[in-house]
Structure 1
Amino acid sequence: MFVATKLPENTKVSGWVQMLPERTPNPSLSKSINVDVAIIGAGFAGLSAARRLSQCNPKLRVAVLEAGEIAAGAAGRNSGFIIDLPHEVSSDEYAGSDAGPTRRHIMINRTAIQLASDVAQERGWGKDVFDPCGKYNIAMSAQGDEHISSYAKQLDALKEPYRLLDSRQVADVTGTTAFTSAIFTPGTIIVQPAAYVRGLADSLKGGVKIYEKTPALSLEAVGKEWRIKTPQGAVTAGKVILANNGHAESFGIYRGLLMHVFTYASMTEEFSPARLGGDRSWAATPAFPMGTTVRRVRGERGDRILIRSRYTYNPRLKISENDVERAGRVHDRKFDARFPTLKGVQMEHRWGGAMALTWNGVPAYGEIESGLFAACACNGVGATKATALGIAAADSILGIKSELLAAFGQFEAPKSLPPQPFLTIGAKANLGFREWRAGKE
C-alpha cells in the first residue's frame, strides 16, 4: 500500500492560464468506480497516455485523476517547447561519436511531436496555440557563440537541417541587438501550454473520464487489481499509470531517486508591436545550459515577452511567493539586458514550476509492481519527454511492441542520489555553479 504524504501545491497562477478564458472544471469523483486503467495526473504524460489508450482500444474504461484543475500544475507552467533535437549543446551523449543514443532521443521527441500535431489538426488550432515554427538557440557572448558553432558541427554529423544567423540576422528576427549569434532548427513545435493541455483533455474520447480536484490519497493492491482512494470516492482498476512526475515520491515510490527542482518564468504586460521590431512570434533556448529562455508571444491587443531562468532545489515539492519574487528580480535584469528599447514595460505575471530530475538523466519509467506503471522524471523537458512517456506507458499496458517502447527499454535505471545533507548541499552548489557558468546567457 502506498499512501501520499503530501499533495501538489501551486504558488501563484501561471501567466499562460491567466491569458485564457475561465473554464468549468470536470466534476470531482464522488463515488466508487471500476475501470480498466486509472491514470494519476492530467499533465502531458497522463493525458497523452489516455489518448493513446482510447485510440488503440476505445472500449477501455479509463479514469484520469487530477489533484487540481487541468493546466494549473506543472504542464500549464511549461515554456511551451516540444523539441525534436536535444538542446543542451554540451551534452556528452549528444556530442559523442556514437549517434545511436542521440537518434533514439530524436525518435522519442518526434513521437511526442506527432501526437501533438495530430491533436492540433483535430482541434483546428491556430498558431496562437500550436505553432510549428521551429526554434532558435541563441547566444549573447563569445562563450555562447562557441556553443552555437559546436552545435552546428554536431547537427552536420547527424545530417539534421539548420540555419546559422549572425548578430544582424538575429536582430532582424528578435528586434534587438543584444544577441550575438543563433542557430535555427525547424522541427520544434511551440505551444501555448495551458491551452494545449486543456485542448488535449477536451480531445479525449471513448471511455475516458477526467476527474478534476480529485487527488489520489493512497494506492493499494487488492488481489490482481489496484484500489485508489480519493477524498470522496475510490477507483478500482486493473492497471494504474503514475503520471504525476516528482509527486510519485510522495507515495514513497522512487524514494531517493528523484531530485526536485523548480524553474521560474515572468511574462510582461502587453506592449505595442511598434515598440519592438523583428518577428512578432519567436522562441529561443539559450546557447549555454542553465541560461535564459526567451519567447515573444503575439496577441490580438499587443505582444508579450516571456523570460524563463533561475533554478532552485526544493525537496519539499513546494515554493513560496518570496521564491518567485526573488527569481523575478533576476528576470527583470535579464529582460532589461535583452530588450533595452522596451524600457518601462512591466512584468504582469510571475510563476514557478516543478521538475523531477534523476542523477543520470534517465526517466523513472516502467512497471514498478504488477499492474502499476510509472511515467515520471522528465528531466526538464516536460512537454516532450512527458508526452512520449505517456505514450510508452500506454503501449506497455496494451502490449504493443513499439519502437518507442523499445527505446525507453534501453535506458538504465535511475541512480540513487547522495544521502542528506550532502544531497541538498551538492544540489544547491551545482545549480548555483551552473547558473554562474552560464553568465550573460
Structure 2
Amino acid sequence: MTRFTAKRLPSHRGQAAWSAILGPQPPAVPLEGSQTADFVIVGGGFAGLSAAERLLQLQPDARVVLLEAGRLAEGAAGRNSGFMIDLPHDLASDDYAGSGDDRKIIDLNRKAIGFARDAVNAYGIDANFFDPVGKVNGAATPAGDAHNQSYARHLATMGETSEMLDAQAMYDLTGSRHYTSGLYTPGTVMLQPAGYIRSLGEALSTRISLHENSPVTGFEKAGSDWVVKTAKGSVATGRIILANNGHLESFGFARGRLMQLFLFASMTGELDADALKALGGQPRWGITPSDPMGTTMRRIDTGQGGNRIVTRTCAVLKPEMNPSEAENNRAGRVHRQKFDERFPQLAGYPMEYKWAGHLCLSLNGVSVMQEVEDGVFSACVQNGLGTARGTLTGMGAAELACGESSEITAHFTAEDAPKRLPPQPFATIGANVYLRYKEWRAGAE
C-alpha cells in the first residue's frame, strides 16, 4: 500500500500579530468522522485558498474539503509582511533582479494579483485588506542607493516604471531621517494578510468544507482513492492538493532539497496621539530594504488593525522547522535597535508582538508545482514570495488537478527539480553563518 505519513506537524513561535489585531475568529470546525470529496486541499494559506477558489471556477459543483492544521491566518499566511509584489524579488540577489526571464515572472505575478483582486471584488472583502499603493526600496547608504539605481536600470530595460525618491521625500513618507533615498514602484499590493486570508476563507466556507485545527497526519492509497487522515477524521478522495509549502518535505517529497528558513518580525502596540504627532509621515507605507538581507518596515493604520509599525529582519535556517525562543528573543533585540535607529522620536516604544514566520526556498529558486504522485499535486516551495507565488502555485495545482493547462502550469512544470542540498550538518551551519554575514553586510539597510 502506498502511504505517506507526516514526519512533523506545523509549529509556530510567537503570536500571529496580523490576526491578533483583528480580534477573535469564530470557533473552528475540526474534521471529525469520515467524508468523501472530489478534492482535498492540505493547507489554508495563500496557496490552499487560491487552489480552492480556482477549483470552484473550473468545477463549480465539485466537493472540496480544505484541511488547515491551525487557524486561518495564524500560520505562515499571517506571519509575513503583507507585500504582494509584481516585480522580480530575488532574495538571493544583491538588488532583487532575477536570474531568469523576469518579464515572464512579472506577467505571472500580475496574474496572481489580478486573481486576488477578483476575489476581493467578488466576495466583498474589505478594501483595507488589499491596498494597491506600491512600495519603496529604502536606502540608507551609498551602497543601498547604488542597488536601487541598478534595479531601476534593470526595470527600465523591461519598460517598467519606477521613481527615485530623495531623502526629503522619504522623510515626508515615513517620518524617518534614516533613509537617504528610495525607489518607488507602483505595482505592489499592500495586504493586511490575515484580513485577506480570513475573509477569503470565510467566503469560501459557504461553498466548500473548511476544517481548521485539523493537521493531516498522513494519506494512503485505498483502491482507486486516497484516504487523507487527521486525528479525528478522514476524507476519501481521488485528488489531493498539497498546499503546505515547506511541509511538503514532511510527507517525504523533495527531501534533502528544501531550505526551511524563518524570518522574524515585531509589531508595536497601537501608536497613541503623542506618538503619531512625533512620528509624522503618511499613515500607510511599506519599505523593503535596498539590500535583500536588510530590514523591512511597514506602517499600518486603523483600517488594518490600528496605527502600528512592523519591523522585520533576521533569518535562520531550521531544518527541523522549530525556531527557539532564544532565537525569537535575539531577533526582538535586533528589531528594537533597528526601530530606534529609524525612529529616534519613538525610541523604546513598546513592541506588543514578536514572531517567527516560516519560508521555504530551494537552492535554484524553483517551486514544486506539479503532480508528485498519481492524483497528488503540489503547490509548494514559494521561495520567500508566499503571497504572489503561493497564489500562483495554488491556481496552477488546481488546474493540473482538473486536467487543465495554462501559462501558469506551463511555467512551473517546466522548472527543474530543486537542487540537492549539501549534507548535514554542514548545510545548516554554513547557511546560518552566511545569513549572519549577509545581515552584517546589509548594515544600516
TM-score, L = length of structure 2: 0.95
Query: Is 1:387 the equivalent of 2:383?
Result: no
| Alignment-derived partner of residue 292 in structure 1 | 295
User: Aligned letter for 1:285?
Assistant: T
SS at match of 2:128: coil
| Alignment-derived partner of residue 313 in structure 1 | 317
Matches within 5 A, 1:226-375: 226-271=226-271, 272=273, 273-299=276-302, 303-375=307-379
Equivalent-residue separation in structure 2 for 1:387 and 1:126 (angstroms): 19
Q: CA 1:89 to 1:313, structure 2 compared with 1: closer, same or farther past 3 Å?
A: closer
Matches within 5 A, 1:84-95: 84-88=86-90, 91=93, 95=97
Equivalent-residue separation in structure 2 for 1:259 and 1:413 (angstroms): 14
| Alignment-derived partner of residue 159 in structure 2 | 159
Matches within 5 A, 1:40-79: 40-79=42-81
Cα displacement (A) at 1:217: 0.8
Matches within 5 A, 1:62-211: 62-88=64-90, 91=93, 95=97, 101-204=101-204, 207-211=207-211
Equivalent-residue separation in structure 2 for 1:138 and 1:364 (angstroms): 32
Aligned residues of 2:125 and 2:199 also touching (Cα < 8 A):
no
Cα displacement (A) at 1:302: 5.6
List 4+ stretches of structure 1 deviating above 2 A: 87-96, 122-128
Cα displacement (A) at 1:113: 0.5
Cα displacement (A) at 1:356: 0.8
Equivalent-residue separation in structure 1 for 2:292 and 2:345 (angstroms): 26
Aligned residues of 1:119 and 1:203 also touching (Cα < 8 A):
no
Aligned residues of 2:298 and 2:311 also touching (Cα < 8 A):
yes
Q: CA 1:384 to 1:197, structure 2 compared with 1: closer, same or farther past 3 Å?
A: same
SS at match of 2:302: coil
Match for residue 5 of structure 2 among 3, 13, 17? 3
| Alignment-derived partner of residue 17 in structure 1 | 19
| Alignment-derived partner of residue 426 in structure 1 | 430
What root-mean-square deviation, in Å, do the aligned CA atoms of Structure 1 and Structure 2 show? 1.8
| Alignment-derived partner of residue 406 in structure 1 | 410
| Alignment-derived partner of residue 33 in structure 2 | 31
Q: CA 1:194 to 1:252, structure 2 compared with 1: closer, same or farther past 3 Å?
A: same
Aligned residues of 1:267 and 1:347 also touching (Cα < 8 A):
yes
Aligned residues of 2:336 and 2:348 also touching (Cα < 8 A):
no
Aligned residues of 2:94 and 2:291 also touching (Cα < 8 A):
no
Equivalent-residue separation in structure 1 for 2:124 and 2:278 (angstroms): 31
Q: CA 1:421 to 1:37, structure 2 compared with 1: closer, same or farther past 3 Å?
A: same
Unaligned runs of 5+ in 2: none
Equivalent-residue separation in structure 2 for 1:307 and 1:261 (angstroms): 18
SS at match of 2:32: coil
Cα displacement (A) at 1:230: 1.0
Deviation string 1:49-100 (CA, Å, 9 cap, x unpaired) is 001001221111111011111111110111101100013488389757x9x7
Matches within 5 A, 1:207-222: 207-222=207-222
Aligned residues of 1:60 and 1:206 also touching (Cα < 8 A):
no
Cα displacement (A) at 1:343: 2.4
Aligned residues of 1:257 and 1:417 also touching (Cα < 8 A):
yes
Equivalent-residue separation in structure 1 for 2:293 and 2:53 (angstroms): 33
Deviation string 1:345-399 (CA, Å, 9 cap, x unpaired) is 1111111111111111110221111101111111111111111100000111122
Equivalent-residue separation in structure 1 for 2:164 and 2:402 (angstroms): 43
SS at match of 2:299: strand
Equivalent-residue separation in structure 1 for 2:17 and 2:352 (angstroms): 8
Equivalent-residue separation in structure 1 for 2:409 and 2:248 (angstroms): 21
User: Aligned letter for 1:392?
Assistant: G
Aligned residues of 2:96 and 2:292 also touching (Cα < 8 A):
no
Cα displacement (A) at 1:127: 4.4
Equivalent-residue separation in structure 2 for 1:258 and 1:69 (angstroms): 25
Equivalent-residue separation in structure 2 for 1:329 and 1:61 (angstroms): 48
Equivalent-residue separation in structure 2 for 1:424 and 1:395 (angstroms): 35
- How many corresponding residue pairs? 439
Cα displacement (A) at 1:410: 2.8
Equivalent-residue separation in structure 1 for 2:123 and 2:239 (angstroms): 29
Aligned residues of 2:45 and 2:76 also touching (Cα < 8 A):
yes
Cα displacement (A) at 1:206: 7.0
Cα displacement (A) at 1:321: 2.3
Aligned residues of 1:228 and 1:236 also touching (Cα < 8 A):
yes
Q: CA 1:106 to 1:175, structure 2 compared with 1: closer, same or farther past 3 Å?
A: same
Q: CA 1:316 to 1:137, structure 2 compared with 1: closer, same or farther past 3 Å?
A: same
Percent of aligned pairs with the same amino acid: 46
Equivalent-residue separation in structure 2 for 1:109 and 1:165 (angstroms): 25
Equivalent-residue separation in structure 1 for 2:48 and 2:97 (angstroms): 32
Deviation string 1:382-420 (CA, Å, 9 cap, x unpaired) is 111111100000111122221111121232111111111
Q: CA 1:111 to 1:279, structure 2 compared with 1: closer, same or farther past 3 Å?
A: same
Aligned residues of 2:89 and 2:97 also touching (Cα < 8 A):
no
